Amino acid sequence: MVKHSNLSPEQLEERRRRGRSNLTWILVVGTFLLVIAAPTMIVLFFGMLPTLVASIIDRSDQKSATFCVGAINFIGVFPYILDLWFDLNSIDAALNFVTDLFAMLVMYSAAAFGWLLFMTMPTVVASFVTVLQQRKVAQLRGEQKTLIEEWGAEVAALVEIERTEQREQHMEDGVSGMAYKNNG
């Protein structure tokens, strides 16, 4: 779960406002699509329910789980939508699909596969990423060592200055924080 504790009240308000705006757009577009393509929308709504759930559960900014589950879930839903489009595109036909246990099993199994993929693959990828980062850090350290051998320790002056400034800033923040705390 993403924590919003580090966001300021203004940022939170902005986020809420944007969320309301998106919901409005979704409702408008959804209503429009429901009017012109009601059978497709019925199949999509019931078939993509796991994605909706994933979207609700997934509070991350990137919405990776939603995209992953949604994309795989859609693979399960899409053949039935195509059947609607190529055969009888009616609400009855759509209701037939959503009440067909096998069809729903296919759609939800696809979603489940999506979830499975999302549960397992990131860990494996993260291990690779960690190894790659460590190699990159070692390479950069090697470059720095070569620079120090050629130019002496003073080549790190900019970094030292930056660190000192950060320390000073930290101290100042600490002092003002203490003062704020004491005054508060």
Measured between alpha carbons, how far is 80 from 107 in angstroms, rounded to an integer? 9
Q: What is the longest distance spanned by two Cα atoms in the chain?
A: 80
What is the C-alpha R_g of the chain? Answer: 27
Per CB under 8 A, 14 contacts other proteins: no
N residues, the chain: 184
- At its nearest, how many Å lie between other proteins and the CB of residue 127? 8
Per CB under 8 A, 156 contacts other proteins: yes
Q: What x-and-dash track marks residues 94-113 binding other proteins by CB under 8 A?
A: --------------------
- At its nearest, how many Å lie between other proteins and the CB of residue 31? 25
For residues 4 and 14, is the Cβ–Cβ distance under 8 A? Answer: no
Measured between alpha carbons, how far is 85 from 90 in angstroms, rounded to an integer? 9
Per CB under 8 A, 7 contacts other proteins: no
Distances (CA, A) of 169 to 38, 157, 160, 178: 60, 18, 14, 14
Stretch that binds other proteins, among 6-14, 28-36, 75-83, 171-179 (CB under 8 A): 75-83
Binding site for other proteins (CB under 8 A): 60, 62-65, 67-72, 74-75, 78-79, 82, 86, 114, 117-118, 121-127, 129-130, 133, 136-137, 140-141, 143-144, 147-152, 154-159, 162
